[in-house]
Structure 1
Amino acid sequence: MEGLRQLHKKHQIFVNFLIVAVTIGFVFLLGNKTVLIFLFLFTIGIVYKLWQTNKKQSILLALSFLTLACFASQMPIIKNRVNVFLKTTDFNMETIITKNSFTQTKNTAEHRVLIDYLAIKEIMATLPFGVGTGDFQEALNKQYNTVNFKVAIKNKFNNHNQYLAEFLKTGVLGGVLFLMLVFTLWKTKKSRMGFYFVLLFSIGCLVESYLDRQHGIVIFACIIPFFLNQNSNSLSA
């Protein structure tokens, strides 16, 4: 992000271009859909901002990203994941449940939809107090067994949604407090980088149990607090 901003300012163009290119290359090699979505949204934001000040740079960046995306789409790891998503995705919950009860599927988007569906069922059954912080995984496993969700039973999937996880663990009180905390982060004065990290965290919590992951805890407990009141690189800069 900072590299792109420095490129926009035409500061150390070669060095910053190299940093951005290598970073994006690693992102594509990892093939993580969540990170790729963040990269796509961030690029749209940069293109939109550039369009207001420099239309030629905006068009050039958009074309560069599209060209890179075309090349990346031919990489085996990305091509395989895209093919799995396009060829196996259904939009009927009964169909999703049936497929996942017969075999260990590889469509992680459908996995998340089914996990959310089962988590909401458990949340509604245990309102208003939740199942407790020590029993939430057992409660999820119980729901997986009710529909014979094979891959989730084998891997003991967590919520893959931090918002639902808080409601499941501690009910209405914990869920609402977590939402209020995220809302407070948005209201607090942030540097440019602080804004990006809060955006990353709040959106990421929709598709990952971020606080069950080391990098999520580092972002939430260390990086976001560090940037909250930094003014040297404000959003208006």
Structure 2
Amino acid sequence: MNINNNKYFINIPYLILVITMFLDIKFNSIAIVLLFLFSITYLAKQRFNQRKYILIFSLLFFFNLLHVYNERFDFIVLESNLSYLIFPLIFFLKPIVNRRSFELILKSFLYCSIAMFLVLLFNAIYIQFFSIGNFYEINWFLFSYHDFVKIINIEPVYASIFAGFSVFISFYFFRNTNKNYFLIFIVILLLFQVMLTSRTPLVATFLILIISIFQTYSFKKSMLLMLLSLIIMMILVSLHSVSRNRLLSTFYGMQSDTKLSKNWGEDSGKLSDRTLKWDSSLEVIKRNPIIGVGAIQMKDSLVREYKKNNYLIGAQKRFDPHNQYLTETLSNGVFSGIALILLLLVPYILALRAKYILYSSFVLLIVFSLFTESVLYRQKGLVFYCFFNALFFSFYFLKSDKRLRLNNR
């Protein structure tokens, strides 16, 4: 038996990588190495001329590896950014062109997201009722944000982005199969996001889901589904007090932006706190627009700016900009910031033109999430984005059979 042609064997390295995205970083790093070795060992020799385009596309990623930090090339920064290059290279060597393999990877990620939610939910219930022994009043903090995800050591924003993407995967399979249990998955995953109370991915997921609905169905049916989705979302949010309060604080934070900005020493948890970080970041960028301050010195530069403006909590906690676009520009200059925008804009335009709803939804979720979090600053977010972006690009745009492409939308 030719192992290279075995449809079950060739999926294993990809599935291992997907599963380890939900685990500790060291397991994910090992999985990346195994997948890279696999792609070299089982190099697909066909369609090399066609696969040259993904290599060209990966050069945009490579731009982020060519920076000098404090007059020296920092290998720690290089290692953390290798995902920009390694995943396009993996799918250049071994592209996923089989629909069954592609959908198996998506389903694996979806089921892992639901499994993660169930583990966290049962753990929170156990702590509430068996460890604390409180049967009369629910401690909602155990069912939200950092306390909710503490057991698996993952930031709430990354868990929320994973859940949001899983919502789009469920919608993708519902469109193609009309199986109602995928609708149940969507409700479960939206509940997961509500409990995580990470506002930007939650709102972005809901808005992108509505856009996907209107791209798929007639106007009348889309309106009905949108109203149903809105009702479900309002019920889920209203039942979870922490999520409700965080969303309301965002609204009031927008209303009180000017007032709070005059008192840099406060940290209210509202949207205004982010604008304080953004203002400081912009001031540092103005002084170092071309080459930036370097990834290693980024936080030190921000701390000095925070102290200058009496933003004491920001200086004490050494906050990053909480905006990936500002983080990239602050670290490496405006050209790197432009490169990041191109990395998002080019795939989105291609997916939009080809009407690949799942791919465009994925990119749009990342675009929105980067406005309020430096998602690509940590390996969890970087590996997630680079892997699935390369997977989608490889699967959707490296096929020679146009009819197969149309069937896989």
Aligned-residue offset at 1:88: 4.3
Aligned-residue offset at 1:10: 5.8
Distance of aligned partners of 1:68 and 1:124 in 2 relative to their CA distance in 1, 3 Å threshold = same
SS in 1 for 2:319: coil
List aligned pairs for 1:1-237, cutoff 5 A.
1-8=168-175, 11-13=178-180, 15-50=181-216, 53=218, 55=220, 57-74=221-238, 75-90=240-255, 93=258, 95-101=259-265, 103-107=266-270, 109-186=271-348, 191-231=356-396, 237=409
Distance of aligned partners of 1:82 and 1:192 in 2 relative to their CA distance in 1, 3 Å threshold = closer
Distance of aligned partners of 1:171 and 1:8 in 2 relative to their CA distance in 1, 3 Å threshold = closer
Distance of aligned partners of 1:88 and 1:132 in 2 relative to their CA distance in 1, 3 Å threshold = closer
User: For 1:229 and 1:22, how far apart are their aligned partners in 2?
Assistant: 30
Aligned-residue offset at 1:131: 1.1
Aligned-residue offset at 1:133: 2.1
AA partner of residue 23 (structure 1): L
Distance of aligned partners of 1:5 and 1:114 in 2 relative to their CA distance in 1, 3 Å threshold = same
Distance of aligned partners of 1:114 and 1:198 in 2 relative to their CA distance in 1, 3 Å threshold = same
AA partner of residue 212 (structure 2): I
More deviation, 156-165/182-191: 182-191
Distance of aligned partners of 1:207 and 1:59 in 2 relative to their CA distance in 1, 3 Å threshold = same
Deviations 1:128-185 (A, max 9, x none): 2211221011001111111121332232111111111121112233233333333343
Please, what TM-score do these two structures have when normalized by structure 2? 0.51
Gaps of 5+ in 2: 1-167, 397-403
AA partner of residue 213 (structure 1): R
Give 1 or 2 for the bigger CA radius of gyration. Answer: 2
User: For 1:233 and 1:222, how far apart are their aligned partners in 2?
Assistant: 20
Gaps of 5+ in 1: none
Residues 322 and 374, structure 2, Cα contact 8 Å, conserved in 1: yes
More deviation, 26-35/192-201: 192-201
- The share of aligned pairs that are identical, in percent, is 21
Number of residue pairs the alignment of both structures matches = 231
Distance of aligned partners of 1:112 and 1:68 in 2 relative to their CA distance in 1, 3 Å threshold = same
User: For 2:372 and 2:405, how far apart are their aligned partners in 1?
Assistant: 29
AA partner of residue 379 (structure 2): Q
Residues 285 and 329, structure 2, Cα contact 8 Å, conserved in 1: yes
Residues 197 and 219, structure 1, Cα contact 8 Å, conserved in 2: no
Residues 97 and 149, structure 1, Cα contact 8 Å, conserved in 2: no
User: For 1:141 and 1:50, how far apart are their aligned partners in 2?
Assistant: 47
Residues 323 and 371, structure 2, Cα contact 8 Å, conserved in 1: yes
Aligned-residue offset at 1:195: 2.4
SS in 2 for 1:127: coil
User: For 2:185 and 2:272, how far apart are their aligned partners in 1?
Assistant: 34
Residues 90 and 96, structure 1, Cα contact 8 Å, conserved in 2: no
Please, what TM-score do these two structures have when normalized by structure 1? 0.84
SS in 2 for 1:206: helix
